[in-house]
Amino acid sequence: MEIQTYLQIFIGFIGLVALAIPFSDNYKQINYKYVLYGILSQFILAAILLKLPFIISFFEILGNGVTILQNATVEGASFVFGYPPTDTEFAYRSLLETFAFGVLPYIIVMSCISAILWHWGILPYIVNIISKGCQKLFNIGGPVGLGAAANVFIGQVEAPLLIKPYINKLSKKELLILMTAGMATVAGSVMVALISILEIQFVNENLIQHFLTASILSVFAAIMYANIMIPSNQITDADTDKRSKVYKGTMDAITTGTAQGSNIAVSVGTILIAVIALVYIANSFLGFIGSFVGVDLSIQQILGYIFAPIAWLMGIPWNEALIAGELLGIKTTLNEFIAYPALAALEEGALSDKSKLIIFYGLCGFANLSSVGILISGIGSMAPERKDDLISVSFKALVAATLASCMTGLVVGCFV
């Protein structure tokens, strides 16, 4: 790498940390030891998950498993919704070529499989390893460590359910960690759906490896940023090994996981309809105003200018930062199900392969305005007496989760 690249990376680490300091409750009490631990742990994990040969081989096996999952989902969706066209010149599209029937079913199938793997103890074993690491590094309690780590595999509302008895006891910093980790990661239930969207843009990449790496790394970054925004040594601890079981049996895991996946799929589909319609209306209004001054205005363009400096801090060259900034802005204000298709639709050469991978990691998370509402209502229903505290830390969580994903992108860019 050239000296300018090293300098940009160095400035990037300082800048992405510095952006969080104005949101701190007490910047004088920030323990920068945890900042150092957070960045070092991301570097070590990135090296392990992206460079070790046997880990790469394991992810290749997982990648083959994803292909089987995709084919299995198509098989089930074909039976219910109709068969794919055999003639490409046919005037009408198959239902399976639409987003609703061709992509959303992946969420249902993956949610079901995640529930089964959770009940069988496979996912809890992995989650506990991540949780123990977070507890040791950042001096946090067992419940919030478990709740944060579980977001790697299950949804941002389902993860807090694992520690429901302890939510009303958590400090504001621990609530912030829980919300930030939920928004800085992408649940396993939607990974396969997003892979099906992105395959056209990342032909030679093992996307399941990158999604899992992004979520694991971002948990550590999320806790790091929560420590910056609410410096506190208050710990809520408990024996999380004795928590009650989530599912009563394998069949209950299948039915409950499927029902949860259906709810997520319907929520994703309906929010996309509303959000895309609102963006169209806003762009029409901005275009009308811009026509008077001879400027082509759009939400995407405005967001690009706002987020371009952050994209540069992630290690993306300035001549590509505007495009990357647009994607970051779309994901933060709208959601990742709009940002990732926009990334997939980029013209050849719009971003270099390295920049595409960095922004892939930057977009990997639920950090958007709608997720704030989902988390407040979801966790608030588990502990109604903490709803005011959830609201008070919600904006910090959105900022922290966004910066956590960006930090993960910067770290991974050092290994590309």
3-state secondary structure of 232: coil
Q: Could you tell me the pLDDT band of residue 404, with boundaries at 50, 70 and 90?
A: very high
State the chain's mean pLDDT as an integer. Answer: 87
The one-character DSSP state at 200 is: T
Q: Mean pLDDT across the stretch 388-392?
A: 93
Mean pLDDT in residue range 271-294: 85
The pLDDT value given to residue 324: 95
Let me know: does 190 contact 264? Beta carbons within 8 Å.
Answer: yes
pLDDT of residue 238: 63
pLDDT confidence tier of residue 304, bands split at 50, 70 and 90: confident
Nearest Cα residue to 139 out of 217, 232, 61: 232
pLDDT confidence band for 369 (50 / 70 / 90): confident
Provide the 8-state DSSP code for 296: -
Predicted local distance difference test score (pLDDT) of residue 320: 96
pLDDT over threshold 80, residue 63 = yes
User: For 310, how many CA atoms within 13 A lie in the half-sphere containing its CB?
Assistant: 29
Instruction: Return the pLDDT at 89.
Output: 58
Count of beta carbons in the 10 Å neighbourhood of residue 232:
16
The answer on pLDDT for 299 being more than 90 is: no
Rounded mean pLDDT, 78-83:
76
Query: Is the predicted pLDDT of residue 241 greater than 60, yes or no?
Result: no
| Average pLDDT value for residue range 338-351 | 91
Residue 163 contacts residue 147 (beta carbons within 8 Å): yes
Q: Which pTM does this prediction carry?
A: 0.87
CA 402-50-397 angle, 5° bins: 15
Q: What is the mean pLDDT of residues 395-414?
A: 96
Say which residue, 280 or 220, is predicted with more confidence.
220
Instruction: Give yes or no for residue 146 having a pLDDT over 70.
Output: yes
Q: Which pLDDT score, from 0 to 100, does residue 94 have?
A: 65
pLDDT at 97: 67
**Residue 360 or 103, more confident:** 360
Give the list of residues 6+ apart from residue 264 with CB closer than 8 angstroms, or none: 107, 111, 155, 189, 190
Please, which pLDDT band fits residue 81 given cuts at 50, 70 and 90? confident
pLDDT of residue 53: 92
Whether pLDDT at 392 is above 90 = yes
If DSSP codes are grouped into helix, strand and coil, which group holds residue 107?
helix
Percent over 70 (pLDDT), the chain? 94
Average pLDDT over residues 317-338: 91
The pLDDT value recorded for residue 92 is 54
pLDDT band at residue 242 using 50, 70 and 90 as cut-offs: very low
| Across 71-95, average pLDDT | 70
pLDDT confidence of residue 125: 86
Determine the pLDDT at residue 87. Answer: 57
- Between 264 and 227, the more confident residue is 227
CA quadruple 36, 37, 40, 43: dihedral sign: negative
243: left (phi over 0), alpha (psi -120 to 50) or beta: beta
The pLDDT of residue 178: 94
Domain-wise residue ranges, the chain = 3-413
pLDDT at 161: 78
Poorest-confidence range of 71-75, 248-252, 408-412?
A: 71-75
